[in-house]
Amino acid sequence: MLYSEMNRDMLLNEKNQLEERYNTFKAKNLKLDMSRGKPGKEQLDLSNGINEIKDFVYNGTDLRNYGILDGIESCKKLFAELLDVETKNVIIGPNESLTLMFDYVSQCYSHGAGDTPWSKLDEIKFLCPVPGYDRHFTICEYFGIKMINVPMTPNGPDMDAVEELVKDESVKGMMCIPKYSNPQGITFSDETVKRIAALKPAAKDFRIIWDNAYCVHDLSDDGEKLLNIFDILPEYGNEDMVVEFCSTSKITFPGAGISAVIASDANIASIKKRLNAQTISYDKMNQHRHAQFFGNADGVKAHMKKHAEILKPKFDIVLKHLKNELSGTGTAEWIEPKGGYFISLDVMHGCAKRVGELCKEAGVTLTTVGATYPYGIDPNDSNIRIAPSYPPVDELDTAAELLCICVRLACGERLLG
Amino acid sequence: MLYSEMNRDMLLNEKNQLEERYNTFKAKNLKLDMSRGKPGKEQLDLSNGINEIKDFVYNGTDLRNYGILDGIESCKKLFAELLDVETKNVIIGPNESLTLMFDYVSQCYSHGAGDTPWSKLDEIKFLCPVPGYDRHFTICEYFGIKMINVPMTPNGPDMDAVEELVKDESVKGMMCIPKYSNPQGITFSDETVKRIAALKPAAKDFRIIWDNAYCVHDLSDDGEKLLNIFDILPEYGNEDMVVEFCSTSKITFPGAGISAVIASDANIASIKKRLNAQTISYDKMNQHRHAQFFGNADGVKAHMKKHAEILKPKFDIVLKHLKNELSGTGTAEWIEPKGGYFISLDVMHGCAKRVGELCKEAGVTLTTVGATYPYGIDPNDSNIRIAPSYPPVDELDTAAELLCICVRLACGERLLG
């Protein structure tokens, strides 16, 4: 029954029952963590074979030594195959793509993406589809970039809003996760990708950080397909507008993987110019470990099926509880993602923070409520990001049930005033 | 006999003899490389044991997963022991320290080291002890930092000049290698270190990039000792003026090592603030490999003795040729380094470029002549950096003899006018 249709007595009765269940959980002194998109131990074990690679000569080059600024050919080829681009448009980066994204923004800040370094301008704004990834927001905040919320729709960012906002010349960029977005797991529709590729921003140096973090992270065989934006950009003369990033953080080892940036010839040239001052090379031994371990793109895809086998039951158990406990109550909405790392829960407005508190009191840590919005401010106090990957299934079973109780309890409290 | 005391006939005779020897070498179609400070294969093999480390749990933490922003404790302890500082003043970085130095300058550029980001100022200048390390100059050039040459003396940078130059408020920093400097192998004397620590720059945000690249890189047991500048800085309230960098690039694997930044509490805090936006963690698996492989600072020192056993004969053979061929000719001067990676040769003014050409024509690649000076301009056209580490001893024997012939030939040509 919809909570909104309950009278005061019914709500009080509901609240009492929920408090009883809540206290039973609380008495267990739980310590469960659903806060970050960390792979579980079982997933990490899938990649242990990487540490068996011990021959570091590749094409006659000793990879233990200096050199090869933009990454070894075998690794470039691997990412080029996965993302359907040419190897000349790939640079292999450090242990994670976040650093590459930060560094690209830093490059635009000190040297610009066009004629003027962003540091020389009075105001820089970025569009941030919301809810979104907190670490994107942190990068913007660090560089003093003003963030403008753009609502996500089931097809990606609200493109009417984006098309309107880019008419402002101080809007210099957008950060987004086009496939299995963090936290909603939404893949941008073909139309969205096309409209993004066709944007005519007032700023000639407008840049889209295309964070393809979950490019091969399907939860089952019917994964979603993302249009390759680099195929479309040339039609609009927008080749330089999009810079794509990805990594193996959630393929092999988070923090000890390899990353890649994919960009137009001109952008690759400007990044290489910076690289030339910045490094002698990234870690080619780790690049080689990865290339040898996978062999090719099919190797990666086969590997990702093993991840899915571990992850799918974890997502399912959370979704089962959401359905059993919250369907028909009007207290929350969510999308069943076909990939990625998160489930995004939108609870009754004004209740998310309280849900976080209740969970924490009972020993379940969620992603800080609000973190899915720029500056940590969810204007509706509604969004909760659930990260089911790390806890074992039995713990997740407990944590998800408790979360649902907390959602209902918080909403009940709110309606009771 | 001094070339300057030879008459024309003697010089012509000398030249003819040298050309004969030169042509004999040239006929061999050599392809020898003394250009970069790359460790040789034998040296790299010393660290292969690193790849045997396969257990990545440390203090109960799975190092394959996310987390630990500033590096694992065992690694911090290793660098803290080596450099005689507290672990709280150490951050473990990526695969090489060059990236950390670039990033620190980038941080000063976008966020400043004091009140004002350097990007907001009209002019930034750095002091560059010369001859020096080309990659330092490349970083300055990338950020548009005007470089001012400061001559090196046998005790380090000319401190009279430095003390005078820092009275200019637009002089914001200095980059230097205080131990076994690149290329001269000079270790800053105690007095130099004390005078640096006692500087009173007009710029309150003056920063010294203390690139301690060769901190444990002695060629023999009577290595030189560098005063720990962090012990002295507090006497002058200059704790924040120096930021130290080092890495295992020339201890384990160049490009696949680990690096560290050592700094005051305040500087560590500002770097961590940036790190928090920049990364989730650096590669902790590689950190752990290194910490386990060495155990402690003594493990590193024992390891460095093995490097010295390989490197010393290479330095000796170059020095032997320099002595045999050039002593008493007045064509060149050099210092016998007790550590580091280079021998710096100062030839008769106006002759270095010609030496480089002659070497190249005969198949020996030297570091680009001029590269040891900012903007690639050696005002005296005199300095040549010799990197003896990479070629095998027999090749080095040939290359060094040829180099000496080229030096004498170029100087003879010059005197003949």
Alpha carbon of A23: minimum distance to chain B alpha carbons (Å): 31
DSSP state of B404: H
Give B182's contacts (C-beta < 8 A, 6+ positions apart): B37, B132, B133, B213, B214, B340, B341, B342, B385
Question: What are the pLDDT digits (tens) for B290-335?
Answer: 999 999 999 999 999 999 999 999 999 999 999 999 999 999 999 9
Nearest to A73 by CA among A287, A269, A259, A294: A287
Tokens 């130059």 belong to residue? B165
Give A83's contacts (C-beta < 8 A, 6+ positions apart): A90, A212, A215, A228, A244, A246, A260, A262
Tell me which chain A residue has its CA closest to the CA of residue B137: A277
B285 and chain A in contact, CB less than 8 A: yes
Task: Determine how β-strand A383-386 pairs with β-strand A259-262.
Answer: unpaired
Task: Determine how β-strand B171-176 pairs with β-strand B207-211.
Answer: parallel
CB A64 to CB B143 under 8 A? no
B136 pLDDT more than 90: yes
Instruction: Please name the member of A39, A109, A279 whose beta carbon is closest to the beta carbon of B98.
Output: A279
Report if pTM > 0.95: yes
Alpha carbon of A113: minimum distance to chain B alpha carbons (Å): 15
Q: Which residues of chain B does A278 touch, with a Cβ-Cβ cutoff of 8 Å?
A: 98-99, 102-103, 139
> Digits of tens for pLDDT over chain A (417 positions)?
899 999 999 999 999 999 999 999 999 999 998 988 999 999 999 999 999 999 999 999 999 999 999 999 999 999 999 999 999 999 999 999 999 999 999 999 999 999 999 999 999 999 999 999 999 999 999 999 999 999 999 999 999 999 999 999 999 999 999 999 999 999 999 999 999 999 999 999 999 999 999 999 999 999 999 999 999 999 999 999 999 999 999 999 998 999 999 999 999 999 999 999 999 999 999 999 999 999 999 999 999 999 999 999 999 999 999 999 999 999 999 999 999 999 999 999 999 999 999 999 999 999 999 999 999 999 999 999 999 999 999 999 999 999 999 999 999 999 998
H-helix or E-strand spanning residue B16: helix B8-26
CB B255 to CB A65 under 8 A? yes
Strand partners, B364: B32
Task: Determine how β-strand A156-157 pairs with β-strand A364-366.
Answer: unpaired
**DSSP labels for A324-373?**
HHHTTTTSEEE---SBSS-EEEEESTT-HHHHHHHHHHTTEEESPTTTTS
Alpha carbon of B79: minimum distance to chain A alpha carbons (Å): 20
CB B283 to CB A255 under 8 A? yes
Instruction: Please name the member of A95, A106, A284 whose beta carbon is closest to the beta carbon of B106.
Output: A106
Sign of the C-alpha dihedral computed for residues B168, B170, B176 and B182 taken in this order = negative
Cα A199 from Cα A180, distance rounded (Å): 22
**Model ipTM?**
0.96
Q: Which residues of chain A does B38 touch, with a Cβ-Cβ cutoff of 8 Å?
A: 65-66
Decide: B338 and B224 in contact? Cβ < 8 Å: yes
Rounded to 5°, angle at Cα A221 from A219 and A223: 65
Nearest to B273 by CA among B126, B121, B103, B64: B103
Sheet with B156-157: strands ordered across: B90-92, B259-262, B242-247, B207-211, B171-176, B125-130, B146-153, B156-157
Alpha carbon of B199: minimum distance to chain A alpha carbons (Å): 28
Both tokens of A266, joined, read 């001109």
A353 and chain B in contact, CB less than 8 A: no
Which residue type does A243 have? Answer: V
Tell me which chain B residue has its CA closest to the CA of residue A140: B277
Residues 88-117 of B with CB under 8 A from A: 94-96, 98-99, 102-103, 106, 109-110, 117
Tell me which chain B residue has its CA closest to the CA of residue A275: B99
CB B65 to CB A285 under 8 A? no
Both tokens of B32, joined, read 């020898």
Cα B401 from Cα B406, distance rounded (Å): 9
Q: What is the pLDDT of residue A36?
A: 86
Sheet with B343-347: strands ordered across: B332-334, B343-347, B383-386
Q: What is the pLDDT of residue B230?
A: 98
Q: Which residues of chain B does A39 touch, with a Cβ-Cβ cutoff of 8 Å?
A: 65
Question: What are the pLDDT digits (tens) for B357-395?
Answer: 999 999 999 999 999 999 999 999 999 999 999 999 999
Cα A251 from Cα A301, distance rounded (Å): 10
B335 and chain A in contact, CB less than 8 A: no
The burial class, CB within 10 Å (0-12 / 13-18 / 19+), for B213 is buried
Both tokens of A232, joined, read 């479309």
Tell me which chain B residue has its CA closest to the CA of residue A40: B65
Interface test with B, best of A139, A209, A280, A288 (most B CBs within 10 A): A280
Give B20's contacts (C-beta < 8 A, 6+ positions apart): none
Interface test with A, best of B69, B97, B110, B248 (most A CBs within 10 A): B110
Task: Determine how β-strand A343-347 pairs with β-strand A383-386.
Answer: antiparallel
Question: What are the pLDDT digits (tens) for B212-245?
Answer: 999 999 999 999 999 999 999 999 999 999 999 9
Dihedral of the CA atoms A355, A357, A359, A361 (nearest 10)?
-150
Q: What is the pLDDT of residue A255?
A: 86
A141 and chain B in contact, CB less than 8 A: yes
Cα A360 from Cα A356, distance rounded (Å): 6
Cα A325 from Cα A232, distance rounded (Å): 44
H-helix or E-strand spanning residue B25: helix B8-26
**DSSP labels for A158-199?**
-HHHHHHHTTSTTEEEEEE--SS-TTT-PPPPHHHHHHHHT-
